[in-house]
Every structure is written in structure tokens, then in C-alpha cells.
Structure 1
Amino acid sequence: MHSVVALTLLATSAIAFPSNGYSTGHGSSKLNIQVGDRPYYLINNMDDGPLKTKLQSCSEGPFKPSDFVVSHRGASLQFPEHTTEGLAAARRQGAGILECDVAFTKDKKLVCRHAQCDLHTTTNILNTTLASKCTTPFQPAANGQPAKAKCCTSDITQAEFKTLCAKMDGFNPNGTTVASYMDGTPYFRTDLYATCGTLMTLNEYISIVDSYGLKFTPELKTPEIPMPYDGYTQTQYAQDMIDAFKKAKIDPERVYAQSFLPDDIFYWIKHEPEFGKQAVYLDSRVDTPAGYANATASIPDLAKKGVKIMAPAFFALTKVDPVTKKVVPSEYAIAVKKAGMDIITWSFERSGWLNRGGDYYYQYVKDVINNDGDMYTVLDVLAQQVKIRGMFADWPASVTYYANCFGL
């Protein structure tokens, strides 16, 4: 714990890099952006061709922050998500926009957590006295039934939330003890930096990212409990998130508010237009064939209603051309660009190994995917042909390398 904290303090206390002209007020020097070994591994793994040659030509940088690079939950490939340590890593890796998924606590305070009810898989709550407050206390695997638990931010106060340690998101469904249940980090991630990740409130996240001089993308998480909650309405929740930025005197141009609920987007467009014009509609309708078709057909109407930025998972933006067998833009991607809207998409580096065709994020192009280097093949189509505005990444350095190589 002490070594991780020390490294984080060094990273956050170093003089901030004033990205995009936003002064941090700390006087300033250069922050050296570091991409590490991962991009080079991916490039070496690519099939020979013009893209590989181009990427190899950029091997020595220099590298700088890019708004094309959006950190997904911090640097969650290796750091516990939504922690100060993860933010520091994402900043060092060149992300120009940093994310906080916003959930509310029992006392209606806003905190950073990927889901309202994920504390049992992303923190050590089950190993603390707060476990008794969980919606569903831990139940071990038995008689062919998997272990289960459900712990929500709304089960505890903000002060209690801040006593927890973050861990890598994961669980072991065969766990018969709390310790074995919590030991479920996916094979392609690591617990090396998960000794006790520092959780954040929304206000702390705003303060940290502002000190970096970078941009924000807060996501209003869809509640997992009935709303209103103890009189707390969805619209008040949406307003409270925006109010936190207004109170901190953050320029709306630095904020990309997100939601999977279209009503949240429409609310911001109507009631907070300066923030609403950059609101990001996270589109999960594409997850089924029928939903994909309906989502594609709805694009012109959404544009008329003032939605400026669409954000589906990136599988929905590409397909394989049946003749050339090349990855090309999808019908959805073409419809969004035809409507004059921008695209931000998610999430790079979330799939593990691709030597078996990938997973959810590569489902429409799996027949032409056979190695990790194909991540850059798909990213290149998204950047150069779909012309996405930004890519969320669990390991921002991989996208930072590409963005710098192509001047994004």
C-alpha cells in the first residue's frame, strides 16, 4: 500500500501539464507522457503492412496528451477502477479526457463507481464491518449454486464509502469464503497495483482532473434501485452531477456528460444547454440485431432533438465487407456521420487476447481477427474511416501511441 500511495503522490504532486490551454494555476513544467511497453508489443504482433510500418515509424515519439484518448475508469486494465491511482496512471499515459462513473450513496452524495451495486466486486466491503449493510450479504457457493452478494453505494453513506479499499473488478463464483469469492481478477489483468486503491467522490475527481488541466467525462449511472429513492428523483440526480461542475467553476467545454438513458441527455440539453451540447448518448440498443436496426433508424430523429455525440460500443461501428474481407464502417456509423453527429466509442483494451477472434467488442469482425495486433487494425478503421472523435481505453497508452502517430 505504501509504495502505491507514494508513487501516486509523486505523480499528482508533480507540476501539472497544462493541456489544451487550461492553466492549472501551479506554475508549470513538462509532464513526460509515457506509453510503456504495451503499444510496442501490439505493433510487433501485427501482420506486416502499411499500418504496421507507419506505427513503427513513430516508435520514439515524442508523445503528448490527446483528447482522442479517453481513460475508461482510469487505467483499469491494471489499476483498480475509479481510483486516484488509476487517474494518475491515465494522465501519465496521455489521456486527455478522464472518466468518473457517478453513483449516489445512502445520504445522496455523489461518488465514482462503475455501477451503483458493484461494491462487492470492486472493493473490499465484504471483508469489513460494512458487509452487514449490503443489500445481499455474501452467500457461499453450495449445492451447485454459485456464490453471490450485492453491495450498493446506496447501502452506505459517503463517509463509509471512503473507508473502503478498491480492488480489481472481479469475483470467483465458486468461492466458499469471502476471501476466495473476492479472488477473481480476470486472467488478462493484474493485482500488482491493487493493494488498496483510493476511492473518490465526484468532487475529489473534479479537483484532481482540474489540477491536471485535463477534461472530464462523468457518466450518470443508471440506478439499480427504484427511483425516486427516498424522495431523490432522477432529474435531481442528473442536475446534481452538473451542479458539482458548476460549483467548481469548470468550463462546460471541458465536460462531456454521459448517460445510457436518453431522458438524461434530453434533460441536460433543455435545462443545462452549455453542458447538454456535449452530452454523450451511450447507446446500448445496438446489443441485439433488432436493437441495432432500430438504433440506426433513430439517428436522424436524435439529431433533430439536439443530440450531438453518440457512443455505442465500438463493435457497432464496423463490419467486414463481404467482397474484400476488410474491416469497414457499419451502417450505424454511416448514419451517425450523415446526421452530422460525432462519435465517441468504448472500450479499447477490454477484451483480453484476440487470438481466438476477440469477444463482445469485436463480434462483427471476428472472422478477420486473429492476434492482439489486430486491435490497431480496427482502431485505424475507426479513426480514419469512421472518424470517431475519441476512444475510451482501459489502458490509455495504447491509444495515445496511435493518436500521436496520426496527429489526433
Structure 2
Amino acid sequence: MRISLFAATLAALPVLAAADGHGQSTAVSYGARPAYLVDKLPEGALKDKLASCMAQTPAQTDFSIGHRGAALMFPEHTDQSFIAGARQGAGILECDVTFTKDHELVCRHAQNDLHTTTNILVSDLANTCNTAFTPASGDTKASAECRTSELTLEQFRTLTPKMDSADATATTAEAYQGGVAGFRTTLYTDDAKLMTHAESIQLIKSLGAKFTPELKSPSVEMPHDGFSQADYAQKMIDEYKAADIPASDVWPQSFNLEDVLYWVNNEPEFGKQAVFLVEWSEGFDEQDKATWNEDFADLKAQGVQYLAPSLNMLLTDDNGALAASAYALAAKEAGLKLIAWTLERSGPLATGGGWYFQSVGDVVKNDSDYLVALDVIAQDVGVEGVFSDWPATVTYYANCMGL
């Protein structure tokens, strides 16, 4: 039954013309949000330019990368999230890859996130969780931990996805299913389907988009029942080969440099576009900037071409204005191709933007600063693409700017 539902979903997609032989282009629509953000911009050249594009025809662009699909409002890594991301013009879509007990690859942000992204705690599989649900009590928050590595693929398929959330005040597993952030929604969770990595490849291909899978760090010790880290990295690439996806359409990612170097050395065609992910860490803004060029040169010498820093590493406060950071400019000068993550994951920016904007929290004032930040990293840094939880915003900007 599940296979027929999946096939029916693909058959029902609205399409336009064929897209370079790797699928059909999904009809693209911006929706209301990009215009809303443009309207909120202060008067000036950026607002004038973006406002002049209101009547343009939306088009898919590789500059726009769907972060787990369109996770702002759709349950991440589901068929509906990927479809929504493509409909918003994302030319590249992300499946975060982890594995099950029987070493099948599935799309999950982490191997141990099932307690917040599915209904496992209120299902017959609750007893498989690594840490059972513990109710909130006094100052102790409710908690649980459930891993894909404790389930076979057959068991995984029985779960129902939901928005990534948990109610830390819950005293029951049922109440723990809540906690959805106020800027998100549960309107689009009905009938969304969990996906294997191989299924995501087929769906994304049918949508006319390309691929940026992230090999997630395992929560279990490796090797896992004989399945090594190299086996894991290779299997992810093998599933693209089995689907006849050209390496030029795939940007494999990892926070683990050893994974990236494995692809560079063992799968050189895929390794050309392997992406090394890095994120803000404590003391980043106090690091000796003289070491950055050495780090960048070392990456280049090992064959790494793409670096993907978190948004907070690319932005700085220049006398009260958003500007490109010294780190971003040094990485670009070193010849690395940069990809930024993640726009529109922070909720309303009136309160400073949280983790993703911590380097410029005193500068951002409202949601129009999403567009200001995007303009800085696109024009002043020159990134190759931008991950977003709502790809329509990046698509609109890229179409308007001719990226």
C-alpha cells in the first residue's frame, strides 16, 4: 500500500518542461512570504531592486537549497516537505542520511531524533527507544531518546512523521508530542511519509531537482555490527550510482572531514563536490585569524573544494550594519567555494535571531533582515548557494538578482 501511495504522489505532481534530463521541473510559486519580506525592508537600493521583481516568473534555481525540504512548515525529510521545497524553486534538496538496525539508509536529521520527529513514543515501538520517556517533574524536563539504529527498515516504515518538536513540560508521552514553535505549524502533517534515502533520490529526481545528502554522525559506536564508517559513506554514494544520478548533480556533505576525504579519495567524481560542513563554536570570534589561511590551504591541498559554514560565521557587525565576516572573505580568497546554512530557521528576527545570528544579534531588527543577510552573503561573500527552511525567499532573491 505504501508503494502505491508514493507512486500516486509522484503522478499527481504539477510539471512544466523537462529539466536537463534528470526529471521534470515542478511548477514554481513564491507564495506570499517573499513579497512580505520585501515590503518590510527599509527604503533603499535593495528594496527598490527586489520590489522591481514582483511580477517576474518564478523559476527553479540551484542557488536555492531546500533544508530538509521546506521544514519551516512541513515535517522535515518527508515526501511533502521535499515536494514543497521544489515547488518553492529549490534546485537542490537535502536528505540527511542515517541508518537503521539492518543498515538501510533513511532520511533523518539525526540517528537519535525519532522521539521528536515521529510518533514512536505513542506507538507499539516505544519499547525500542534507547531512553524511555521520562515525564517532567519539578525542574527536570521531560525527555526521551529513540534511534533509527534500534529499528529495522520495516519497523521504521510504520512510524508517522510530525513536526520536529517536544513539550519539555509534558507528564505523558502523548503531551510530549506537542511543543511546536509558534512560528511553525501542524497544518501540513497529514499523510506525510517518511522516506528512505533511495526513495528521496527518486522523488527529488522526479521534481527536477539535484541532491545534497548529508552523512550524519552515528549515535552508535562504529563499526556497527560490521558496518564501518567507510561502508556507510560508500553506501550513500552507491545509491546515487544505482539510480543513475550523475555525480555533477550531487553535493555530498559531512561535518566529519574524514567522510569528505573518503569521497575525495575513493569516489573522485563525487568528491569534486564534497562539502565540508563547519559550525560556530565557543570562542570562534576570538580565534587567531592568522591560522585561517593555513586551515583553508590545508583543505585545498587535500582536495576539498566546498566549505559550508553556519550563517553566524559569515556575518559580522560593521558599525551597526550586517557585513561579510573576515572569516568568510578569507575562505573565499583561499579559493574555497562557500555554501551558507540556514536561512529562515530562526523564527521572527525581532528578538535577535538566536544561534544562527549570534554574531550579529544586536543588528537584526525584523524579518526583512533575512533579505539583508542574504544580500550580504550573496554579493559580498559570493556564496554558491544558501540553505533555507523556506526556499521561496532564496529563490525569489536569486531569480531577481540573476544568480
Instruction: Specify the TM-score bucket, using the shorter chain as the normaliser.
Output: over 0.9
Structure 2 CA distance for partners of 1:58 and 1:89, relative to 1, 3 Å? same
Distance 1:222 1:309 in 2: 19
Matches of 1:31 and 1:114, distance apart in 2: 25
Report how many residues are paired: 398
Measure the CA separation in 2 of the matches of 1:172 and 1:238.
Answer: 34
1:170 partner letter: S
Q: 1:156 aligns with which of 147, 151, 155?
A: 151
Q: Aligned partners of 1:311, 1:373: CA distance in 2, in Å?
A: 23
Residue 13 of structure 1 aligns with an amino acid whose one-letter code is A
State the match for 2:93 in structure 1: 98
Structure 1: 5+ residue stretches without partners: none
**TM-score relative to the length of structure 2:** 0.94
CA distance in 1 between partners of 2:88 and 2:73 (Å): 13
Counterpart in 1 of 2:305? 308
Range moving further from structure 2, 49-58 or 113-122: 49-58
Question: Can you give the 5+ residue segments of structure 2 that lack an aligned partner in the other structure?
Answer: none
Query: Aligned-pair distance for 1:213?
Result: 2.4
Equivalent residue runs for 1:268-279 within 5 Å: 268-279=263-274
- Deviation of 1:327 after TM superposition, in Å, equals 2.0
Per mean C-alpha deviation after superposition, the further-off stretch among 125-134 and 282-291 is 282-291
Structure 1 residues 133 and 309 mapped into 2: Cα distance closer, same or farther (>3 Å)? same
User: Does residue 296 of structure 2 align to residue 299 of structure 1?
Assistant: yes
* Greater mean deviation of Cα atoms: 39-48 or 246-255: 39-48
- Quote the Cα distance in structure 2 between the aligned partners of 1:247 and 1:11: 20
Give the drift of 1:375: 0.8
Residue matched to 2:318? 321
Q: Does 1:365 align with 2:360?
A: yes
**Map of 1:75 onto structure 2:** 70
Residue number in structure 1 paired with 2:12: 13
- Say yes or no: does 1:54 pair with 2:53: no
Deviation at 1:83? 0.2
**Aligned residue number for residue 129 of structure 1:** 124
Counterpart of 2:173 in structure 1 is 178
Distance in 2 separating the partners of 1:121 and 1:331: 37
Task: In structure 2, give the amino acid aligned to 1:89.
Answer: A
1:368 shift after superposition = 1.9
Residues 37-74 of structure 1, C-alpha deviations (whole Å, 9 max, x = no match): 11111111111111011111111121100000000011
**Structure 1 pair 245/292, CA: closer, same or farther in 2 (3 Å)?**
farther
Alignment of 1:119 onto 2:114: yes
Preserved CA contact (<8 Å) 2:26 2:207? no
Partner Cα distance (2:140, 2:185) in 1: 27
Q: 1:153 touches 1:161 (CA, 8 Å); kept in 2?
A: yes
Paired position in structure 2 for 1:107:
102
2:239 & 2:282 partners in 1: Cα distance? 32
Q: Indicate conservation of the 8 Å contact 1:347/1:393, yes or no.
A: yes
* Aligned mates of 1:330, 1:123 — CA distance in 2: 38
State how 1:215-364 maps to structure 2 within 5 Å.
215-284=210-279, 286=281, 288-289=283-284, 293=288, 297-322=294-319, 325-364=320-359
Superposed CA deviations along residues 243-265 of structure 1, whole A, max 9, x for unmatched, are: 11111111000000000000000
Aligned-partner Cα distance in 1 for 2:352–2:285: 23
Q: Does 1:144 align with 2:143?
A: no
Looking at structure 1, the residues matched to 175 and 7 of structure 2 have their Cα atoms a distance apart, in angstroms, of 29
2:394 equivalent to 1:399: yes
1:188 matched residue in structure 2: 183
Q: Say if 2:15 and 2:27, in contact at 8 Å, map to a contact too.
A: no
Provide the rounded CA distance (Å) in 2 between the counterparts of 1:17 and 1:268: 34
Shift of 1:195: 2.7
**How far apart, CA to CA, are the structure 1 residues paired with 2:25 and 2:246?**
23
Q: TM-score, normalised by structure 1?
A: 0.93
Return the offset for 1:20: 5.2
Contact in 2 for aligned 1:354/1:369 (Cα 8 Å):
yes
Deviation readout 1:269-328 (Å, 9 max, x if unpaired): 000000001001011265542786576651111111111010011110121224xx3322
Counterparts of 2:56 and 2:241 in 1: how far apart (Å)? Answer: 37
Structure 1 vs Structure 2: percent identity of aligned residues? Answer: 46
